[in-house]
Structure 1
Amino acid sequence: MLLLLTWVVVIVTALVLYLRQAYGSLRRDGINHLPTVPFFGNIFWVMFQKEHFVDLIMKITNAFPDDKIVGNYDMMTPILIIRDLEMLKRITVKDFEHFIDRRSFTTELDPMFGRGLLLLHGDEWKAMRSTMSPAFTSSKIRLMVPFMEEVCLEMVKVLKQRIKDSGTSYYDMECKEVMTRYANDVIASCAFGLKVESLTRDSEFYVHSKSITKFTFWRFMKFMFYRLLPSVAGMLQLSLVSQKTTDYFTNVVLGTMKDREKNKIVRNDMINILMEVKKGQLTHEKEGKDADAGFATVEESHVGKKQHNYEWTDTDLVAQAALFLFAGFDTISTAMSFILYELAINPDVQDRLVQEIREYDAKNNGKIDYNSIQSMTYLDMVVSEGMRLWPPAPFMDRICVNDYNIGRPNKEATKDLIIRKGQCVVIPAYTLHRNPEYFPNPSKFDPERFSHENRDKIVPFTYLPFGLGPRNCIGSRFALCEVKVMLYLLLRDLKLTTCDKTCIPARLSKETFNLKLEGGHWVRFKLRQ
């Protein structure tokens, strides 16, 4: 009995000393952070769905308003959250080579995500980025507008029919659901060359797409297992996506390519672009003067414009198509859902936007194209403000690849902070976008912030809906164009108002890591007179 008690004391003491050591690393570096829970760090309430992650980051940054860097423990892993704009510039642009990588959430052997542009590292990422960047220029997106228009017109037709079938003059709808289906059909058409019509049925493409983005409990457990024991997860070859879904998209991508090659079919979509990439026929073009895709657009850096001869495998091709699907399916549908919600609760903004839509519609005889969509000033202001208030990527991370002296993290620090190789830093876009120092009355939906008179007042590095630096979102032009086409065609015929289920004031659901309103994005649709 005495021996057992001794071992218990030894184990408990060792565990206490280990936890004290583990949770003391930020303090030893002079980094302030909130109190931790053993083994969970600062994310205890997030994991048990009592707090949303963006609210946690906001709480941490607000707790130490004078600090340049604050800390957070992601379970046992110390994370640095960058608050200072000059430090943000150094990490994302000036000294980008020290922070070139992103934090991985799966192994390289994962056939759907492991070889995607999002998770590649170092020189391999540079080669893939430069090879893929010509696929997302304005000249390429311009050719995809007719596909977007076709899908959106079908969506408007479906919504009109639902209003008619309701037996009333309106139809109450959860926006996220229909925007997800719209985004899915746009991706199916623009990326895979498929017409899937998931707005009226659960197509096979939609079901498999949803399985990729759905954050189930077991997927979360795999995700956390990789974060805690990446080498073990690699040996076990854990994949976040089922083999059935992997096989489906592999067959779609490679099968479509084979069919087009055989029958000499050319369609201006992502499959065709990937075919050009594999053959080495996709080259960088000089953008014309009408290439402006909006204020929120991020420009390609010198990294993306450098020529590389990358040897593509079938796995690489499938991974890029899957990444395009993953990014377009969830993040953009989230952005569109929030913008529709804000237009419903801000009728004055909606009325002004509709006025601009009608003016352009009359001028262009009801036709739309890339140039006309991008030249609409107020439409761009509305989308830019929607991306500020509800950024689809509320935070971004970077991994330090070489030890880096970032300077003093706060006034009390007695020494410079050395960010060590392998350490993760977080860029809190959501927090920056809602900082009253940069955006007065930050919770108000105010497109005037992005008028030609006011946009120059926006402090650099405080507005980052698509990230910063060479590792920004490669598909910003596509995303913005997709959102604008949807708003133009939908608001031209339908009016948005609130309904009994509309979440007012806006509150984020704690049941998901994604940005989603509590109870859903409910709005009422009516036919425009």
Structure 2
Amino acid sequence: MLSINTACLLAALLGLVYVWCRYSFGYWKRNNIPYMSPLIGNTEVFIKRTNSFFLYLADVYKDAKMSTAAAVGIYILNKPALVLREPELIKTVLVKEFAKFKNRSAACDPHNDPLGSNNLFFVNNPLWKDLRTKITPIFTSGKFKQMYPLMTEIGTDLEAHLNSFAKTNDAFVTEVKEICASFTTDMIASIAFGVKANSLSNPNGEFRTQGRKLFTATFRRAIDFFVGFFFSKWASTLRITLFTPEFSTFLRGTINHVMASREESKATRNDLIDVLVSLKGEAVAKGEYNAHLQDVLTAQAAVFFSAGFESSSSLMTFTLYELSKRPDLQERLRNEICEAFVAEQGTMSYETINNLPYLGMVVDEALRLYPLIPFLDREHRPKEGEKPFDLKPYYDYTLPVGMTLLVSVLGVHRDPKFWPNPYTFDPERFNAENKKTHKPMTYFPFGSGPRNCIGSRIGLLQAKVGLVHIFKNHYVTTCDKTPSEIIFDTLGVALNYKSGMYLNFVNDKRYERNAKQ
């Protein structure tokens, strides 16, 4: 039996814990901000693995009790954070007051993962601004147009790959995401690194194998991302990594080899490697080149590869899934694509693919329904001596320095106030007339403001190239293994379905028939 002294001590400790919890979890109530009642902070869904925390943010957004709230207080464990709901407030944070919210709250261990900590996504200001300025020239329309022939080569490889599955008019069932990921892996390897990865013909090649491992959802990976995004001060202590040692070794070897080859040949391909070689040359001339700088350069290639192949392949997959359930929409899109191919005698120019109206509408709607990164995060970090940000006129509350602000892109994109029948796939939302009626800051699949996704246009172009080369002579239908609805992976770091996405591909040679007429 417990002694009286031990029992008293235990009771005192429990009392202190109770008082601490009441105080910590009373923060938002004391500040008169609408809040979600905490159990284990508001991270119970993550701890119990009943949902992704990032998807939980969408549930916070759409909670009926918060329907009129401009912002909602939550607790990440015991750490207060804000989920923004009001579009004008979101615009203020992401755009108007960007100077106070330049940094994300995320970080990873710079010692165990220098490629993760030094890339454009994670790095903080002022290095972020310097890197973004130097890398931006890759992402101009002129550069895209110069890369486009390389992209169409991979599109032709995709056509040949699909044709190898079946003879004319035959149908075949296949897992779509793997095909799309192999295609975008080959695309990124070519246009960014000048490497022929051949993932479509060899899905077990090193590029595809490393990419597959990088995005395989595991509980350990989910913990890394959770701590990295929401408890960045613990990133070094807990050795949080974005890129595994195996991936880092692979990419360092690849980038060092390609850069050395490019330096020796003096050849140019208007790709990422050209920019990295140029930055290295500038550093060497200034006597500033060292191993750390080489890691900074390689880090940009790492995030370009990982984000580039995964986001575009997911966009293609979700688009194919929705169109497989709507043959009427698919028929309209295929007619537009095949007519464009016929008009240009089997090719499709850069200008044409960017100006196919219905293709643009379809892709935009897929990004509305399935924003690939379902949330945005920003850290309140005004300059020293600068007035902190406050929530007036919505609430009489001033943000403390270091507070995390979150925006549920998924929540906004599926809000019936802005998007009637939000779960219905309807490309007409994005026709020329309807786009004029969209409320500002209710559609931002690639973020918004100065820190939006730098690669959004190249990602869209990749997906469009893949889709036109699929639909040129194929259409897709559902099959017995096609899910009736998307169930998202609770361990995923981005929007992804829980199991394989199987569709039926039918080879009907529409372009060839139309070309003969």
Is the TM-score greater than 0.5?
yes
Q: Tell me, what secondary structure is at the counterpart of 1:461?
A: coil
CA contact (8 A) 1:175 1:522 kept: yes
| Residues 200/7 of structure 1: CA separation in 2 closer, same or farther (3 Å cut) | farther
Structural mapping, 1:300-379, within 5 Å: 313-379=293-359
Distance 1:405 1:228 in 2: 21
C-alpha deviation, 1:229, in angstroms = 5.9
Hey, what does 2:513 align to over in structure 1? none
C-alpha deviation, 1:371, in angstroms = 1.1
Q: Tell me, what secondary structure is at the counterpart of 2:199?
A: coil
Distance 1:231 1:390 in 2: 31
Hey, what does 1:404 align to over in structure 2? 389
CA contact (8 A) 1:33 1:60 kept: no
Distance 2:51 2:222 in 1: 16
C-alpha deviation, 1:269, in angstroms = 2.1
For structure 1, which runs of at least 5 residues remain unmatched after alignment? Answer: 282-308, 410-414
Distance 2:235 2:475 in 1: 50
Q: Tell me, what secondary structure is at the counterpart of 2:116?
A: coil
Q: Tell me, what secondary structure is at the counterpart of 2:483?
A: coil
C-alpha deviation, 1:43, in angstroms = 2.5
Aligned residue identity for 1:482: Q
Hey, what does 1:418 align to over in structure 2? 398
Q: Tell me, what secondary structure is at the counterpart of 2:114?
A: coil
Q: 1:89 aligns with which of 87, 91, 94?
A: 91
TM-score normalized by the length of structure 2: 0.90
Distance 1:238 1:505 in 2: 33
Hey, what does 2:407 align to over in structure 1? 427
C-alpha deviation, 1:481, in angstroms = 0.5
Q: 2:143 aligns with which of 140, 143, 168?
A: 140
Is structure 2 residue 62 aligned with structure 1 residue 59?
A: no
C-alpha deviation, 1:318, in angstroms = 0.5
CA contact (8 A) 1:211 1:241 kept: no
Distance 2:148 2:479 in 1: 32
| Residues 169/478 of structure 1: CA separation in 2 closer, same or farther (3 Å cut) | same
Distance 1:119 1:422 in 2: 16
CA contact (8 A) 2:118 2:296 kept: yes
Is structure 2 residue 444 aligned with structure 1 residue 464?
A: yes
C-alpha deviation, 1:57, in angstroms = 2.2
Distance 2:228 2:469 in 1: 43
Q: 1:245 aligns with which of 244, 247, 271?
A: 247
Hey, what does 2:20 align to over in structure 1? 18
C-alpha deviation, 1:513, in angstroms = 4.1
Cα displacement string for residues 316-348 of structure 1 (whole angstroms, at most 9, x for unaligned residues): 111100011121122222111101101111111
Q: Tell me, what secondary structure is at the counterpart of 1:378?
A: helix
Aligned residue identity for 1:126: K
Hey, what does 1:276 align to over in structure 2? 278
| Residues 338/364 of structure 1: CA separation in 2 closer, same or farther (3 Å cut) | same
Q: 1:151 aligns with which of 149, 154, 171?
A: 154
Distance 1:236 1:428 in 2: 27
Query: Aligned pair count?
Result: 493
| Residues 368/184 of structure 1: CA separation in 2 closer, same or farther (3 Å cut) | same
RMSD: 2.4
Cα displacement string for residues 354-406 of structure 1 (whole angstroms, at most 9, x for unaligned residues): 11111111111111231111121111111111111111111111111022112
For structure 2, which runs of at least 5 residues remain unmatched after alignment? Answer: 383-387, 510-517
Distance 2:230 2:380 in 1: 18
C-alpha deviation, 1:138, in angstroms = 1.1
Is structure 2 residue 164 aligned with structure 1 residue 161?
A: yes
| Residues 162/276 of structure 1: CA separation in 2 closer, same or farther (3 Å cut) | same
Which region of structure 1 is more displaced relative to structure 2, 146-155 or 376-385?
146-155
Is structure 2 residue 35 aligned with structure 1 residue 33?
A: yes
Cα displacement string for residues 281-331 of structure 1 (whole angstroms, at most 9, x for unaligned residues): 9xxxxxxxxxxxxxxxxxxxxxxxxxxx99991011111000111211222
Q: Tell me, what secondary structure is at the counterpart of 2:172?
A: strand
TM-score normalized by the length of structure 1: 0.88
Hey, what does 1:70 align to over in structure 2? 72
Distance 2:475 2:92 in 1: 45
Q: Tell me, what secondary structure is at the counterpart of 2:503?
A: strand
Hey, what does 2:50 align to over in structure 1? 50
C-alpha deviation, 1:224, in angstroms = 4.3
C-alpha deviation, 1:212, in angstroms = 2.7
C-alpha deviation, 1:108, in angstroms = 3.5
C-alpha deviation, 1:92, in angstroms = 1.0
Is structure 2 residue 137 aligned with structure 1 residue 117?
A: no
C-alpha deviation, 1:170, in angstroms = 1.4
Q: Tell me, what secondary structure is at the counterpart of 1:184?
A: helix
